[in-house]
Structure 1
Amino acid sequence: MKSRKMIDLEQGWEFMRKGITKLKNRLEGLPETPFSSEEYMMLYTTVYDMCTQKPPHNYSQQLYDRYRESFEEYITSTVLPSLKEKHGEVMLRELVKREANHKVMVRWLSHFFYYLDWHFTPPQSLPTLNEVGLTCFHDLVYRELFAKVVGAVISLIDQGREGGQIDRALLKGALDIFVGSGMGKMIDFEASLLKDTAAYYSRKASEWILENSFTDYMLKVEECLKHERDMVSHCLFSSIEPKLLECVGQNLLSVYAIQLLQNERSEYHAFLREDKVEDLLRMVSRFSKIPGGLNPAASIFKQLVAADGIALVRKAEDAASNKKAEKKDAVGLHAQDFVWKMIELDDKYLAYVKDNLENSTLFHKARKEAFEVFCNQGVGGSSSAELLATFCDNMLKKGGSEKNSDEAIIEEELEKVVKLLSYISDKDLFAEFHRKKLARRLLFDKSANDDHERSILTKLKQQCGGQFTSKMEGMVTDLTLARENQNSFEEYLSNNPNASPGIDLTVTVLTTGFWPSYKSFDLNLPAEMVRCVEVFKEFYQTKTKHRKLTWIYSLGTCNIIGKFEPKTMELIVTTYQASALLLFNTSERLSYSEIMNQLNLSDDDVVRLLHSLSCAKYKILNKEPNTKTILPTDHFQFNAKFIDKMRRIKIPLPPVDEKKKVIEDVDKDRRYAIDASIVRIMKSRKVLGHQQLVMECVEQLGRMFKPDFKAIKKRIEDLITRDYLERDKDNPNLFRYLA
């Protein structure tokens, strides 16, 4: 077999160099004949032979290195000079052309050196010849001219923004080089483009905002956004679109939004005030396309809603002051009107956002925050929690609402009341006021409808949780059980004639934990009433021997017969009043001290009941001296000549202001709640800083009330003295839980 002739490195490379030079000449447009099949095969075979010769004549590594060097030499001597001497659009055209030529050169040389690529590079874990060729262009051309190329591309983009005609195909071709390089330059280009875009639109915004109305300015914004989207779809890469649009929106809208919406040319306020629905919807649509674009508009909307609400509060405050000057019940009379107006305002802006502002969650949030601002401002010395509780009381008690007969309307209004409560921070204060008033409605049979009572409790439970309504639900259940208990008592009396109390008796048995706390005095009952108490005790012991009855006489009512000289009348009075009046069955004249001693009541209670019987509308007793003030030196006697056109009259006691007691009870409950929250947090965390403990405590309790930072600090100190917590010895702002 004839042996193959050995090819020397330089001899073989000289032949390959001639082929590479011919390829370069063709790329440069110089006259060269096309490669024939024979030439192609000779070039391929030369590489094959040089790669398959036995060592030391195997020149694979040398060919691999010279392959790369041939690209570097061509780029350095020919490509780079041709690019550096050109600028702007001309330079971009040359770049696109040179990059296309380079790819052709890589493709041809990869074919010539195919055997090297197949036989040598994989075992050596070297980059492929294709990768080597492309990397050369990137490293030598792109790194050298990157800033110049970026400047030319951005200049072309800005020219298009100014309305100039640009070669989009050229722009896309130049940008495709960024994508094709795959070497991270895309990020650098993106940063440069966004920086230029921000500067460009910032300049435009500063000019346009001085020259255009709100509507005209917004039209320009829309045109710019449309142009950028169009530019992306035809020239740029899709991944940059969100960032580009955000950049445009930031510099055209976000930066100038407040100025846009508040300046004298802005129609935004008019849109809101005059219900220009189409204009508002257009404005919302434009701003919503920009990330964060609606925030300033929502902020101004919040200010307008808050201003309406604060004006309503001020008007209510003035009205309450007038009522106080007229010595009227400022809370009772004004709560109804004030809360109705609050509900109407809430309905108005709720519908406004739904109908005019695309039901935007951002505007709903702004509306809610605005209501939280003014709904927590008291009126006439009464907190919003008290006013809302008074409103509920008027709605739910008999004769309290003109709409009591319409079930659907009542349900709808109850829903609105509970929604109004969601804006109030002191929900626990509302709960206590509502519980007190609910107790009076239930105990004195003033509730218009049990279903409505249960309905509002269900709504409150959904809004504030089960703990919020647990006691109130227990009160409603208690009344049902009390009625059943009363039926059992009446059945007991019918079966035991000897146990009859002698007068009609109704007893409401309640569970202590559910109801508000009431004063319990050992009232010295008249003999008639003592018999009633004894009979009921005997009955109750037949049902249970494990429960103790505590009698709350301050809540009792009595119907007694008054035999006056003009006519006999039925008097509806409290147990205290009845006990006082019955004293005059055996005495014609009694002093203040005698009445107090015989009844065993406090001074305050004696003053109240004697005032109601001798100084108020119905003077059942004559007082000596005849003044409007009850004093310990006064004397009283039965007014036998009392007359009234009615045969049945109710004699009320002077009202007691329970506000102070409610606030005291709530403050006490808040102390317990703060203690429990601190212990709960520390038990799980073991060690915690002061600031973090306070913030977590506020977050836990925020659903029911807004705890005061000073109160939390005070409770922390108290828990330290009670050995629940201790301060860190080295850091006084660090607390440790003591198990």
Structure 2
Amino acid sequence: MSKGIIVLEEGWPFMEAGVTKLHRILEELPEPAFESVQYMNLYTTIYNMCVQKPPHDFSQQLYDKYRGVIDDYNKQTVLPAIRKKHGEYMLRELVKRWANHKVLVRWLSRFFDYLDRYFVPRRNLLTLNSVGLTSFRDLVYQEIQSNAKDAVLELIHKEREGEQIDRSLLKNVIDVYCENGMGEMVKYEEDFESFLLQDSASYYSRKASKWSQEDSCPDYMRKAEECLKLEKERVTNYLHSTTEPKLLGKVQNELLVVVAKQLIENEQSGCRALLRDDKMDDLSRMYKLYQPILQGLDPVADLFKQHVTAEGNALIKQAADAATNQDASAGGVQDHVLVRKEIELHDKYMVYVDECFQKHSLFHKALKEAFEVFCNKTVAGVSSAEILATYCDNILKTKGGSEKLSEEVTEITLEKVVKLLVYISDKDLFAEFYRKKQARRLLFDRSGNDEHERSILTKLKELLGGQFTSKMEGMVTDITLAKEQQTNFADYLSASLTTKLGIDLTVTVLTTGFWPSYKTSDLNLPIEMVNCVEAFKTFYGTITKHRRLSWIYSLGTCHISGKFDKKSLELVVSTYQAAVLLLFNNAERLSYTEMLEQLNLSHEDLVRLLHSLSCGKYKILIKEPMSRTISKTDTFEFNSKFTDKMRRIRVPLPPMDERKKVVEDVDKDRRYAIDAALVRIMKSRKVLGHQQLVSECVEHLSKMFKPDIKMIKKRIEDLISRDYLERDSENPNTFKYVA
């Protein structure tokens, strides 16, 4: 172009020649590429026509010409080329024309760059790039997008049915939808995505209807899992990433949510059947499929809870039937069998919770609630708390009781027992039964391992706090101290010149507050025993002046020598039994009344003792008249002809049913605990309604036991009568704390 003023009529034809050359290149017609000189001439021409002083500043006209060039190309070349093709071929043409359009805009924007840098900002106009994209959107995209959408959905349908398609083509078409949104996703979402989601929902609704009729639950889930996997891949390969949650949501809804009840509750192959047949892989798949769905796991967890509850109830029924079928004297409820099966059941389903259900809190809760149902049922009148305490006692006894467990297995089993205790509501009842049995183990030297005794207390302390185990720990400490004290007593006797007992005496000093309460009586001891008691009292007085000894003869054990005609036998008896037998050192025959007076015992106690010595397995005494019952007119004499193949025999006492006393003691403690909780709550709240007070009291005590609502109401009335609380004068259902 000549230097000087360039008029529009002269400059524009020169520019048109450059545009025509660009069109030919885009249409793949024979045309050499732009040389740098040509490019610079075109740019310079535009520059010169824009910087000329008015009226020769043609910036606005060139801006309009730029728009016109692109519009004309879209109308005359692009649209006709796309219109004459259909389906996949139309998509390829669309992709090609969109790519060409971007090239066209990029090159023209370079030629007209001066407008973009100065004219456009001053006039606040659309940039040249925006003008170019808007032209394609308004003239080409708006007309073509609906047909393109149908063609894309058709290809996706083919792919879902297993056909191979050109994924790169679809990705490029999706880019057309996204890029024509001019930086926003509205075009993609409204013109394509909404139809894709609707079409996908219809497709998978049909599939769900068909598969649910034909397939088992595991087969159906495998197909659903594969579909979700393929849809994720579909998004990765050619859809926009924002589509993934929406698309998967549609697929999940149609394949999983709509048929959830039918699928999960299928009697032949649903969740119950999978649990029954231990199909852990299928249960894991069910969890993975329903976990992303809001409340999707609720029915699965509910069926899991029902299944575990049913299995637990079956164990309880088996135990109850076994207890009914066997003789009461043969052992009653087989505690070790029931608890061991409960532990096995818990181990089994904890694996399900951990592995199949990925430790999800919903399934932990379901397992807990299931175990709480059957773990708190009584079996043949025996509470679960007592059964568990008896099982612990069986393990901790010398040589593991009937369990015969190794050291390592014992430790693991104790840990599992403590886990079961979590589900027992009457933990205070367990504590009392456990303490009773622990006391007997410790006092009669039946504890198999001190480390295990301490280990379970540590576990219980971690679970329920120091207050729960304080008395139990005190008992263990007492026994340790008693052993040291016995050594000191032996040294004391050895050093004494005057005190010679002639009997081996072992005394265990217990702290009253730690141990269960035991029955005491003013038994008239034989003179041999009196001397022993006095000797220990003298020794103990040298240690402390501040403690008073109270002797509990019911816990004593004696080894006495019985000289019978055939041979002498060592008899292991209780202190009471020994006192009865030693009477016969000074008399060949004694009446019931004489023994009652000499021993100073109650009728019930003496009957029990005489029954064990004359009517039980070992008949050390001969009763006249012979019968199985003891009456006040009976007489007894030493059975010198008694013999046994063993050198040492233990003469058992008829077992006492301590269950009633334990329950009564616990009920009494509960009344105190409820009183304390009510006062503590009211002291902090001052004024509280009845319902809220009861609710807070239940919550406060539920860690140890489940308080009875009627008992709480009684305790409230009792506290009112004792002036701890008072009713509000205007509202009788509101209570006030009396300071």
TM-score, length-scaled by structure 2: 0.74
C-alpha spacing 1:496/1:108, structure 2 compared with 1 (3 Å)? same
The residue aligned with 2:638 is 640
- Do the aligned residues in 2 keep the contact of 1:225 with 1:245 (CA within 8 Å)? yes
Give, in whole Å, the separation in 1 of the partners of 2:401 and 2:275: 34
The answer to whether the Cα contact below 8 Å between 2:46 and 2:114 also exists between their aligned partners in 1 is no
Whether the 8 Å contact between 1:682 and 1:688 is mirrored in structure 2 is yes
Match of 1:548 in 2: 548
Give the 3 Å change call, closer, same or farther, for CA 628–77 of structure 1 in structure 2. Answer: same
Query: Is 2:564–2:640's contact at 8 Å kept on the other side of the alignment?
Result: yes
Q: Residues 182-197 of structure 1: matches in 2 within 5 Å?
A: 182-185=183-186, 193-197=196-200
Q: Residues 600, 284 of structure 1: CA spacing in aligned structure 2 closer, same or farther, 3 A cutoff?
A: same
Shift of 1:648: 5.0
What CA distance in whole angstroms lies between the structure 2 residues aligned with 1:432 and 1:637?
40
Matching of residue 430 in structure 1 with residue 430 in structure 2: yes
Whether the 8 Å contact between 2:71 and 2:135 is mirrored in structure 1 is no
Deviation at 1:342, TM superposition (A): 4.0
Secondary structure (helix, strand or coil) at the match of 2:643 reads: coil
CA distance in 2, matches of 1:96, 1:733: 78
Q: CA deviation at 1:317?
A: 1.4
Length, aligned pairs only: 717
CA distance in 1, matches of 2:125, 2:723: 72
With 601-610 and 709-718 compared, the bigger mean Cα shift is at 709-718
8 Å CA contact 1:562–1:570 kept in 2: the answer is: yes
In structure 2, relative to structure 1, the CA distance for the partners of 1:464 and 1:585 (3 Å cut) is: same
1:183 counterpart letter in structure 2: E
In structure 1, give the amino acid aligned to 2:638.
A
Structure 2 CA distance for partners of 1:715 and 1:640, relative to 1, 3 Å? closer
Find the aligned partners of 1:667 and 1:353 in 2 and give their Cα distance. Answer: 36
In structure 2, C-alpha distance between the alignment counterparts of 1:619 and 1:106, rounded to whole Å: 118
Cα contact 2:5–2:52 (8 A) shared by 1: no
Distance 1:45 1:689, change over 3 A: farther
Alignment of 1:205-224 (within 5 A): 205-214=208-217, 216-218=219-221, 220-224=223-227
Residue 207 of structure 1 deviates from its aligned partner by 0.9
Give the match for residue 489 of structure 1: 489
Structure-2 change in CA distance of 1:142 and 1:639 (3 Å):
farther
CA contact (8 A) 2:560 2:570 kept: yes
Q: Secondary structure at the match of 1:290?
A: helix
Structure 1 residue runs without a partner (length 5+): none
Residues 403 and 409 of structure 1 are in contact (CA less than 8 Å); yes or no, is this contact kept in structure 2?
no
- Structure 1 residue 696: Cα displacement: 7.8
Distance 2:520 2:62 in 1: 106
Give the 3 Å change call, closer, same or farther, for CA 6–707 of structure 1 in structure 2. Answer: farther
Residues 526, 263 of structure 1: CA spacing in aligned structure 2 closer, same or farther, 3 A cutoff? same
8 Å Cα contact 1:622-1:636 kept in structure 2: no
What is the CA distance between 1:436 and its match in structure 2? 1.4
* Helix, strand or coil at the partner of 2:326: helix
Question: Retained in 2: the 8 A contact 1:418–1:459?
Answer: yes
After superposition, what is the alpha-carbon deviation per residue over 1:535-575, rounded to whole angstroms, capped at 9, x for unaligned? 32332232223333333232122345667788876544333
Give the direction of change, closer, same or farther, for the CA distance of 1:540–1:673 in structure 2 (3 Å limit). Answer: same
Identify which range, 202-211 or 294-303, moves more after superposition: 294-303
Matches of 1:697 and 1:150, distance apart in 2: 65
Q: d(CA) in 1 for partners of 2:582 and 2:330?
A: 33
Q: Write the letter of the residue equivalent to 1:396.
A: L
Paired position in structure 2 for 1:290: 289
What amino acid sits opposite 2:289 in the alignment?
I
CA–CA distance in 1 between the matches of 2:664 and 2:159? 72
Indicate the SS of the match to 1:516: coil
Query: Structure 2 matches for 1:591-602, cutoff 5 A?
Result: none
Q: Paired residue for 1:323?
A: 326
Which of 243, 252, 256 is matched with 2:255 structurally? 252
Paired with 1:697 and 1:667, the residues of 2 have a C-alpha distance of: 16
Query: CA shift at 1:508, angstroms?
Result: 0.4
In the aligned structure 2, how far is the partner of 1:607 from the partner of 1:261? 64
Structure 1 vs Structure 2 CA RMSD: 5.8
Q: Aligned match of 1:42 in 36, 41, 45?
A: 45
CA distance, structure 1, for counterparts of residue 71 and residue 280 of structure 2: 63
- Partners of 1:93 and 1:731 lie apart in 2 by 82
Q: What are the residue-to-residue correspondences of 1:85-124 with 2, within 5 Å?
A: 100=99, 103=102, 106-107=105-106, 110-111=109-110, 114-119=113-118
Give CA-to-partner distance per residue, 1:196-227, whole Å, 9 cap, x none: 43442122111112123456545533542453
How far apart, CA to CA, are the structure 2 residues paired with 1:508 and 1:136? 103
- State the Cα deviation string for residues 421-470 of structure 1 (Å, max 9, x = none): 45545444333322211110110122233344344445555665555444
**Equivalent residue of 1:639, what SS?**
strand
Aligned equivalents of 2:467, 2:585: Cα separation in 1: 50
- Cα offsets for 1:472-521 (capped at 9, x unmatched): 33322221110101111121222233345564322101223332232344
User: Retained in 2: the 8 A contact 1:257–1:297?
Assistant: no
In structure 2, do the counterparts of structure 1 residues 616 and 509 end up closer, same or farther at CA, with 3 Å as the change threshold? same
- Give the conservation status (yes or no) of the 8 Å contact 1:110–1:129: yes
Separation in 2, partners of 1:74, 1:731: 88
Map residues 314-393 of structure 1 onto 2, 5 A cutoff. Answer: 314-324=317-327, 327-331=329-333, 334-344=334-344, 361=359, 365=364, 373-393=373-393
Which letter maps to 1:431? A
Aligned to 2:439: 439
Q: What does residue 227 of structure 1 align with?
A: 230
**Distance in 2 of aligned mates of 1:408 and 1:163:** 57
SS at match of 1:498: coil
- Cα 1:213–1:620 change in 2 (3 A) is closer
Equivalent position amino acid for 2:651 in 1: I
Could you say if the C-alpha distance between residues 445 and 90 of structure 1 is closer, same or farther in structure 2, counting changes exceeding 3 Å?
A: same
Q: Residues 105-146 of structure 1, C-alpha deviation per residue, up to 9 Å, x if partnerless?
A: 654564465445434666899875545765787799989998
Higher mean C-alpha deviation, range 212-221 or range 385-394: 212-221
Amino acid at match of 2:509: V
- The residue identity in structure 2 corresponding to 1:338 is L
- After superposition, give the CA deviation of every residue in 1:327-349 in whole Å (9 maximum; x if it has no partner): 54313xx2233334444555666
CA shift digits 1:590-612 (9 cap, x unpaired)? 565x7667656555445433543
Change in Cα spacing, 1:238 to 1:579, as seen in structure 2 (3 Å) is: same
Of stretches 388-397 and 33-42 in structure 1, the one that deviates more from structure 2 is 33-42
Are the structure 2 counterparts of residues 281 and 143 from structure 1 closer, same or farther at C-alpha, using a change threshold of 3 Å?
farther
Tell me what 1:534 maps to.
Answer: 534
**510-519 vs 572-581, greater mean Cα deviation:** 572-581
- Counterpart CA distance in 1 for 2:725 and 2:64 is 78
Query: Distance between the aligned counterparts of 2:735 and 2:77, measured in 1?
Result: 72
Alpha-carbon distance in 1 for matches of 2:678, 2:539: 47
- Once the two structures are superposed, what CA deviation does each residue of 1:675-712 show, in whole Å capped at 9, x if it has no partner? 77778888999999998988887777666555667667
TM-score (norm 1): 0.74
**1:222-277 Cα shifts (integer Å, max 9, x gaps):** 542453244223211345446644653453346546644664764988877777xx
What is the aligned partner in structure 2 of residue 158 from structure 1? Answer: 157
Structure 1 residues 5 and 406: CA distance shift in structure 2, 3 A: closer
Write the distance in 2 (CA, Å) between the matches of 1:151 and 1:682: 72
Partner of 2:612: 612
Compared CA separation, residues 483 and 106, structure 1 to 2 (3 A): same
Contact 1:209/1:260 (<8 A) preserved: yes
SS of residue paired to 2:498: helix
